[in-house]
Amino acid sequence: MARLEIRNLVVSVEGKIILNGINLNVDGGETHAIMGPNGTGKSTLAAIVMGHPKYKIESGDILLNGESIINSTVDERSRKGLFLAMQNPVEVPGVTTFDFVKTAVSARLEKDQRLRVGKFIFQFEDAAKALKMGSNLSERYLNQGFSGGEKKRNEILQMALLKPQIAILDEIDSGLDVDMLKLVGENVTKMKSQTLGLILITHYQRLLDYIVPDYVHIMIKGDIVKTGGKELIKKIDNEGYDWLKTELGIDELEEKTTQYSLGNCANSLFGEGHH
């Protein structure tokens, strides 16, 4: 059974600590939701697990199926069974969605295996149909000219075809209208199995109405500060995070700003005393 373990993970970017000793275990068959105010490190956590080179692991470890992956490259992590549905999927002009997904699926095969393209075409078309992506998806350039909702559904399509062991969905609900949210929720729920561990990063209850989590974690200031069940979602939706900050004695999340003086350009330009 798949298992992702994040152990005392401390991470920095440009010398600044942004994750403060995170611990999280996700087993196959489990669905974990991570919620929290803006700028608390939720998406950073997702990017680090996937191996984004921008971040530096100061201490701690990430294990997939008992094996440390912190020295694995991004593509190795993917081939080992990790998947990240991104908040802002990039556009790749000139590369068709079909060619991209086909290359990604082929990259997972053993050296002596070859992709059966005919069978794969049917699988691709079925997945596209299930997500209402339109019949010409295969010919469309990857994410180019896609609406926000189409980009998110395209992430789920890739997840369906790549069949990961642990999938992290980073704000998959943003850009989706109510109908499409339901559709994505149904598709992801269909993929749930004893072999798939899910991490949902979200701000809103509405996604979790369709993909029901087993555990809810709240992240504040780079750390998971509370873990509970579904009851936490409703409380956050009704009351926000202030009660939790009070309960745990966490200071307000101050926005770090730098003040700049505009000087007296206006006076110089328009002459003294001109306002």
Residues that bind another protein (CB under 8 A): 50-53, 73-75, 77-79, 83-84, 86, 89-90, 92-96, 99-101, 103-104, 107-108, 141, 158, 162
Q: Which is nearer to another protein, 90 or 178 (CB)?
A: 90
What is the smallest separation between the CB atom of 93 and another protein, expressed in angstroms? 5
Q: Which is nearer to another protein, 107 or 248 (CB)?
A: 107
> What's the alpha-carbon Rg for the chain, to the nearest Å?
22
Find how far residue 148's CA is from the centre of its chain.
Answer: 15
Q: Which is nearer to another protein, 88 or 205 (CB)?
A: 88
3-state helix, strand, coil in the chain (%, to 5): 35, 25, 35
State the Cα–Cα distance between residues 267 and 114, nearest whole angstrom.
72
What is the smallest separation between the CB atom of 247 and another protein, expressed in angstroms? 36
Strand order through the sheet with 166-170: 82-85, 166-170, 197-201, 31-35, 215-220, 223-228
What is the smallest separation between the CB atom of 69 and another protein, expressed in angstroms? 13
What is the smallest separation between the CB atom of 90 and another protein, expressed in angstroms? 5
Q: Which is nearer to another protein, 109 or 121 (CB)?
A: 109
* Amino acid in the structure at residue 219: M
What is the smallest separation between the CB atom of 72 and another protein, expressed in angstroms? 11
Q: Which is nearer to another protein, 53 or 271 (CB)?
A: 53
What are the angstrom distances between the C-alpha of 221 and each of 2, 17, 245? 28, 10, 11
Q: Which is nearer to another protein, 78 or 187 (CB)?
A: 78
State the Cα–Cα distance between residues 275 and 264, nearest whole angstrom.
11
Burial 20-38 (b: 16+ CB within 10 A, else e): ebbebebebebbbbbbbbe
What is the smallest separation between the CB atom of 161 and another protein, expressed in angstroms? 10
What is the smallest separation between the CB atom of 166 and another protein, expressed in angstroms? 13
* Amino acid in the structure at residue 225: V
The values of phi and psi at residue 104, to 5°, are -65, -40
Question: Across 65-171, where does the E strand assignment appear?
Answer: 67-68, 82-85, 92-96, 141-142, 166-170
Q: Which is nearer to another protein, 100 or 204 (CB)?
A: 100
